[in-house]
Each structure stands twice: as C-alpha cells, then as structure tokens.
A and B are shown apart, each in its own frame.
Chain A
C-alpha cells in the first residue's frame, strides 16, 4: 500500500505537482540517511550525500519506470553516492583481533547476550555493526533493520543475489565474532 502511495506521488510530481516530493522525502529520509551514515560514518557528510541524492532522484524522476519500488531506486542512488564518497576518503577500519575471539558458538553468544540488559545489548550490537566495513554495515541496516528483500538489496548494491547471500552470511559471522571479542574485552562473559 505504501509502495502504491510512492507511485501515486511520483505521478503527481511528473504531472507538475512538485510539492508531492516532500511526502517522498519525509517517508524515506531516515532510511536513506541511515544507509549513508553507515557507509560514510560522519553525520555532516551523510546528510549532504542524502540531500544530494534526493535532489538527483528528483531530477531523474522521469527515468524511474516503476520496475522496482521507489525506495529501492532511491536507496541505490544513496548507496552509490556514499560508496563513491568513501572511495575518495579512504577510510581505515580496525581489523578483528583474532586472539580475542573465543571459541563460543553463535548460540552461546546469543545466550550470553540475553543475560545483558537491553541497553547493553544495543550498545554491543551497534559497536559490532560499526566495526564492519562501510558496504557491509549498510547491508546490515537494509537486511536486518529495514527488512529489505535480498532481491531489492541486490538491486540497490548492484551485487548479484548469490553474492548478497554470501555477504550476509559472512557479515553475520563477523558480527558474532566482534560481539564475542567485545564481551571478552569487557569481561561480560
């Protein structure tokens, strides 16, 4: 239903009612901003990228054929802009310290996490997500937070469906490794 609303507003804009674009901005700004922020890791840059992406989407709205959801089309613009930005910036990421990774299974890690309060859990997971490279961090937001389908993630990122699946599997493993590492470091286990 919401996707139909997007299509309706796109048609309104193409019919000359520019004000309808405010609806699309309001509806998608948070997720678009989150994707950019997960990739560039700087609020000012992320906001600038998101703003530019919305303006670019507006300018090329004619080329939106409705073959995918409007959100998928928009997030692809944001994702590409943010990735291009990081390529220019050359970020450095902390590698996972293999020595601190214990031999807990995923189930054991989840059980240990369950013993923490929700605030501590969120802090730990957020820290683990921030530990991932930019593109993987964005993938987590799309798949776990936005519950975007694998096909749509494939359209947004330009990766093949099987590549997205493989990446998500590796990301999950990395997240568990980092969470375990953080738990060992902070002696939560």
Chain B
C-alpha cells in the first residue's frame, strides 16, 4: 500500500480491531435478572394494549350526539344529523368575529402594525431553516 492509499479512518479501525469490547464479571446477567425479577413487570398501559376501546368510545359518543342531540348539552331543537351544520356555522361565526376584533387591534397599532408580519416571517424563516438544515445533515451523514 502506498502512503497515498492509506485512509486515516480505516487505519484506526484496523488498529482497533484487536481491542475487543470489555466484558463485565461472569455473574453480571444473573445479578441483573435477580434485581429485575424483584421489580414489578413493565406492562403496556391498559389503553395502549386496547387502543380499539378508544375508537369505539369515540365513535359511540359521536353517534349518540349525531342522532340523539336531545341527550346532550347541545340542546333540544335539532333534528338528527343537523347539529354538525349548526355548530360548524356557529363556530365559524365566532371565529370570524374574534379575527375581526384581533385585526382591529392591529389597526390600532398605527405604523407599527408591520412588525406583526415581519415577526411571523422571521419565526417561519427560523423554523424552515432548522427543518431544512436537519434534513441536509441527515442526508450528508
């Protein structure tokens, strides 16, 4: 091998090949198992073992609310299937009102209002920069 062909990393790897990992004492596993068997077993949580329960309960509540809104806090005046539309409309209206009020406050800032989009833009730029640099690192690693 000529000097130019020697890869420094490969050379170290080759030199370290002879040094094997160290071993703990012979009864190491037995000691750990003794300690571990005295511990309560680490089981998955009840919900993690039965995730379908969550799905069933959510679906049941949804169906109940959908067909029998009279049972719920949502009121008595709906016919089955209508409450979704009602609440969609109600919340969209509230959101629009809130947004209008928030915007009017920005207007009160006078010439300083432009700080808001500039701050948001800086924040987004920082987030994108972090996201892309992380991806680039992982690709080049």
The chain A residues found within 8 Å of chain B, CB to CB, are 13-16, 18-19, 21-22, 25-26, 29-31, 33-34, 37, 43, 46-47, 50-51, 54-55, 58-62, 105-108, 110-111, 113, 118, 121-122, 125-126, 129, 140-141, 144-146, 149-151, 160-162, 165, 172, 175-176
Contact = CB atoms under 8 A, between A and B. Distances in A.
Contacts of B138: 151, 161
Interface string B8-43: 110111011011111111001101110111010111
Contact of B11 (A25, A34, A106): A106
B137 interface: yes
A186 to B, nearest CB: 16
Contacts of B18: 118, 121-122, 125
Contact of B6 (A13, A107, A122, A165): A107
22 contacts: A14-B43, A15-B43, A16-B43, A21-B36, A25-B33, A29-B23, A30-B21, A33-B22, A34-B21, A34-B22, A47-B28, A51-B24, A54-B32, A61-B42, A105-B3, A110-B6, A110-B8, A110-B11, A122-B19, A146-B21, A161-B138, A175-B12
Given A21-B33, A106-B6, A161-B137, 5 more contacts: A22-B33, A33-B23, A55-B35, A60-B42, A145-B16
A165 B22 CA distance: 25
A63 B8 CA distance: 39
A103 B119 CA distance: 53
Contacts of A149: 141
A126 B106 CA distance: 66
B104 interface: no
Contact of A25 (B8, B12, B13, B29): B29
A49 to B, nearest CB: 10
B84 to A, nearest CB: 35
A165 B9 CA distance: 12
Most chain A Cβ neighbours within 10 Å, of B13, B16, B28, B41: B16
A151 B22 contact: no
Interface string B31-72: 111011101011111001000000000000000000000000
A122 B24 CA distance: 21
A126 B19 contact: yes
B90 interface: no
A91 to B, nearest CB: 18
Contacts of B16: 125, 129, 140, 144-145
A27 B13 CA distance: 22
